[in-house]
Amino acid sequence: MKILFDEIDPRAEALGVENKLIFATGPLTGTGAPAGGRFIVVSKSPLTGAIANSCCGGYFGAQLKFAGYDLLIIEGKAPEPVYLSIRSDGVAIKPAGHLWGKWTTETETLLKAEIKQEFDIWEASDTSIVSIGPAGENRVRFACVMADGGRAVGRSGVGAVMGSKNLKAITASGRGEVAIADSEGFKKAVMDFLEEGRENKELEKRRMWGTWSLPGRANKTGTQAALNFQSGYFKPFEVFEDPAFIRDNIRVRDEACFGCPFACSKRSRIKDPDYPGTTKGPEHETMALVGSNCGVGDLDDICRVNYLCNELGMDTITTGATISCAMELFESGYLPEKDTGYPLNFGNTASMFQLVKETSRRQGFGDLLADGGYAVAEKYGHAELFMGVKKQGMPAWHPQGIEVIGLQYATSNVGACHTKATLPMYDGRRNPAHHVEWTKQDQDALAVVDSSILCW
Ligand code: SF4
């Protein structure tokens, strides 16, 4: 973040050459510290105009460290599409014209095949890849950077910044290791943490369910975003009160980030002959925003939208927030069908699939949606129907049910974001007299977690 403040003029155009894209690891990345294998992407956001600061798990951060780099600063713009290859023995900028337009999994598959051909199968399997999909290429303001077959650097449009630099992907693999000053002390600290974790019921739940225990829990307590935040409850989500319903229906396997014993990530299948494959998630935030908040209760439909967003490279939260805003405008009679080309009522999944694809290509009505929900609501004269902060849509937890989280969204330096707000309802912190104090306390604590680039 300091590099961003030091090096970027705040008046710089987020999608212009003067903006920079920073990939940073943390002090624990690649050390084997539990939940410490992450990296963060920082830039000026094309969605909010404020800072973008979005974190991701997987293996990319660790491989970057093993290759000998703590961070990358991407500057300027390549004249043609390129990708960046980072290895212990050097960095190369390579042509990526043949990858432009490809979905993110296909991009990874093609790059791995090239690496296998140039080096060997071991090098290909060790390589971690981050890439953008068509949404990033087309500067969709909430495009994300995807990593390792379905992980997302999701929020604030960092994928659009990557696209504006004509950078399709970065591959990283290293042969080095991260030096630790007191390796015995470090090992002991990790073992003590794991020992304590064995008794921790919350960690056990996280390993078992990932975030799949949350939609039912939020729905039951009236804090589930529903119908563009018109409600905190969505009847079709009652089936998710038993998270086993989700797990039994869609889970393929559990996956872990580098060095993390919790393996909380879930890979799921998509029941659609048009899209054979698997992807990561859907996480609770995705289930809320493209599910209940858009009036969609069918798990297969939610998985399909999650898959499309991951492959096209769009943040599922902002995609859902933007479409739900358009749905409320449509149902309120402010957005005419002649503009959308099809009915856009809540729960209309056929229209939703089409709109997701159009948005990634900036085609038809999708061109307006690609600028985010605030732009849509403002164009139709009802900015009040956009539910967000700093033009970034609110995530899953409805402030109506947990008022203090509304204050945390409202004062976050990146706009409304699930990673910049905690869930105070679970420790009984509801008294409004303490909202300001708790917000400050939580934001300070999260700043430490963010700066350490840890998972929470
Ligand atoms: S807790 Fe889950 S998301 Fe976090 S680092 Fe571990 S496996 Fe990754």
Please write the tens of the pLDDT for every residue from 166-179.
999 999 999 999 99
- Closest ligand 1 atom, CA of 260? 6
Q: Check residues 120 and 427 and name the one with the higher pLDDT.
A: 120
**Residue 450 Cα to ligand 1 middle (Å):** 14
Query: Is the confidence at residue 427, as pLDDT, over 90?
Result: no
Range of the domain at 31: 2-173
For 293, left (φ over 0), alpha (ψ -120 to 50), or beta? alpha
Average of per-residue pLDDT across 396-421 = 88
ipTM exceeding 0.95?
yes
Please write the tens of the pLDDT for every residue from 188-225.
999 998 888 888 888 888 889 999 999 999 999 899 99
pLDDT of residue 76: 96
CATH code assigned at 157: 3.60.9.10
DSSP string, 423-439: -GGGGT---GGGHHHHH
Bridge pairing between strands 265-269 and 128-131: unpaired
- Closest ligand 1 atom, CA of 255? 7
Q: Is residue 191 part of a domain?
A: no
Please write the tens of the pLDDT for every residue from 96-149.
999 999 999 999 999 999 999 999 999 999 999 999 999 999 999 999 999 999
What residues are in contact with ligand 1 under a 6 Å CB criterion? 35, 37, 57, 256-257, 260, 262-265, 455
> Both 122 and 17 in a single domain?
yes
> Both 266 and 169 in a single domain?
no
**Residue 261 Cα to ligand 1 middle (Å):** 8
Average of per-residue pLDDT across 422-443 = 75
Query: Is the confidence at residue 380, as pLDDT, over 90?
Result: yes
- Closest ligand 1 atom, CA of 257? 8
Average of per-residue pLDDT across 275-290 = 91
- CB-CB neighbours of 152 under 10 Å: 27
Report the distance separating Cα 407 and Cα 400, nearest Å: 11
> Both 443 and 322 in a single domain?
no
Q: Is residue 440 part of a domain?
A: yes
The average confidence (pLDDT) of the chain is 93
Report the distance separating Cα 421 and Cα 289, nearest Å: 17
Residue type, 59: Y
Q: How many residues does the chain have?
A: 456
> Both 20 and 137 in a single domain?
yes
CATH code assigned at 261: 1.10.569.10
- pLDDT band at residue 275 under the 50/70/90 scheme: confident
Report the distance separating Cα 413 and Cα 396, nearest Å: 18
Residue type, 355: L
> Both 50 and 19 in a single domain?
yes
Please write the tens of the pLDDT for every residue from 12-29.
999 999 999 999 999 999
**Percent of the chain at pLDDT exceeding 90:** 78
Q: Decide: helix, strand or coil at residue 169.
A: strand
Phi, psi for residue 194 in degrees, rounded to 5 = -65, -40
pLDDT of residue 274: 83
Please state whether the peptide bond connecting residue 282 to the residue before it is cis, i.e. omega within 30 degrees of 0: yes
pLDDT of residue 424: 52
**Residue 263 Cα to ligand 1 middle (Å):** 6
Average of per-residue pLDDT across 413-435 = 75
